[in-house]
Each structure stands twice: as C-alpha cells, then as structure tokens.
Amino acid sequence: MTRLLEIDGLNAGYGASHVLHGVSLRIGEGEIVALAGRNGSGRSTLAKALMGLVHAQGVANFRGVSMIGKRPHVIARMGLGYVPEQRDVFPTLSVRENLQLGIKRGGSRFSSFTINDAEQLFPVLQERAAVKAGMLSGGEQQMLALARTLMGDPSFVIVDEPTEGLAPQVVEQVSSCLKNLRDRGVAILLIEQRMSIARDLATRVAVMGHGKIVFDDTPAALAANERVINEWLSVG
C-alpha cells in the first residue's frame, strides 16, 4: 500500500498547554483508520494540527510534502479535507450556497465529486437546497458539512465525531456516506467514539492516550486486547 500520510514525533498544543507528545502514525492510500480514545486524549488536536489550525512541530508529510507551517487553505489544496466536530456550516447561506463554497478552485467540472453526487448521497440536501444552513437540524448540518468537504475533491478526509448526538437513522446515513468514500478510494482518519462504526469501516484502529498513540492494529486485535480497552477506552 502506498503511503499517503506520514506523521512522526508530532508535538502540538495551545499556548503553554502541550497536548500532543510525539505522535507517530502512518496512513496509506484508500485506507480508513479509526482514531479512538477518551475525551482529552488529543484526537481533535491531532486533526487541527494536521490542518494547520494549531502550531505543530515534528514530521507531518502528505504524499512526501511537509504540511508543517502551512496555512489551512494550502493544506486543503494539497488534497486534504476536514469535517470538524462543530460542523462549521455557514448559517446565513443556503444549503446549495454552502456546497458551492466547497468546490475547489477551477470549478466543479474538474472535480470527480459534484453537487449532484452530494445530493444523491444525502437526498435531504436537495430537498432543502434553498434553506439557510442555520435552520437545519443537527443531523442535516452534519450531512452538509461532510458533503461540502467532499466538494473539494479530497483524497484524504479527517472526520471528527461525525455521529455525535445524531439519531440512529442519521448515523446510518453518515456511515453509508463514509462507506461510499471508501469505495471511491478516499482515505479517511475517522475520530469516532462508536466502536461499532469503527469496526465496520476501518482497517485499523489507533488509540490515543495522553497525547500519544498507545495502540495501532486491526479492530479484531483491539477487541481482543482487554488491557488497552480498560486502560485507554473504558469510562468509569
């Protein structure tokens, strides 16, 4: 498998608060890696560090090109997409306008993922095309955020807690979309608490604890490792 993303000895944080402590991780072309861990383990900070949203030091290469020190829009143009936990849709713009803003420079004719593709994945986006994004439900906003990211035609997508707070029916739709991306050959770093989704989608599970990767293996290997589950994942 061709290596797509290479992270080695990555450190990052917020001001004097040091969150990541030498993170190392590899992700190949078309691979889905689930990133598990308790709240506060550093998963979202890793996502933001990769996208240039927090200061980072160390190695973070995408297709052999360093991402360290680059601004978020430059990293996006390299082929990375990011769906933050907060969704960050533009509330005063319509659904269709949000999607149009996601199209990479040069126009949708140069993209293999179109607005029509987005509306086929999430029919509700077509039904509510003229509705302002701020009027959508949480689940609809999650679908819009994911679809808008795909308009940039990324080859690698970081998705942070896509099913958080969603109804089971919407969770199923989001999961179906991630499977569709997998079938298209898009690599995904999936930050997700629901291990059932991680087991269904991911080829590997990386577990974070105290700002480091403490486990990296198959979902089956994690399920069989009681020590890792008890020490780094169990709550209470």
Per DSSP, 84 falls in state -
- The model's pLDDT over 115-150, given as tens digits with 9 standing for 90+, comes to 998 888 889 999 999 999 999 998 899 889 999 998
Contacts by residues 133-136 (CB-CB < 8 Å, ≥ 24 positions apart):
133/89, 133/90, 133/91, 133/92, 133/93, 133/94, 133/95, 133/98, 134/89, 134/91, 134/92, 136/89, 136/95
Domain boundaries, the chain: 1-79+196-236
Evaluate whether 77 touches 87 at the Cβ level (below 8 Å).
Answer: no
What's residue 109's pLDDT? 44
What's residue 105's pLDDT? 62
**pLDDT level of residue 7 (50, 70, 90 thresholds):** very high
User: Would the pLDDT of 214 be above 50?
Assistant: yes
For all residues of the chain together, what is the average pLDDT? Answer: 90
User: Would the pLDDT of 79 be above 60?
Assistant: yes
**pLDDT level of residue 165 (50, 70, 90 thresholds):** confident
Homologous superfamily (CATH) for 1-79+196-236:
P-loop containing nucleotide triphosphate hydrolases (3.40.50.300)
Most confident among 109-118, 135-144, 212-221 (mean pLDDT) = 212-221
Nearest to 146 by CA among 163, 165, 129, 130: 163
**pLDDT level of residue 107 (50, 70, 90 thresholds):** very low
What's residue 111's pLDDT? 61
- The model's pLDDT over 19-39, given as tens digits with 9 standing for 90+, comes to 999 999 999 999 999 999 999
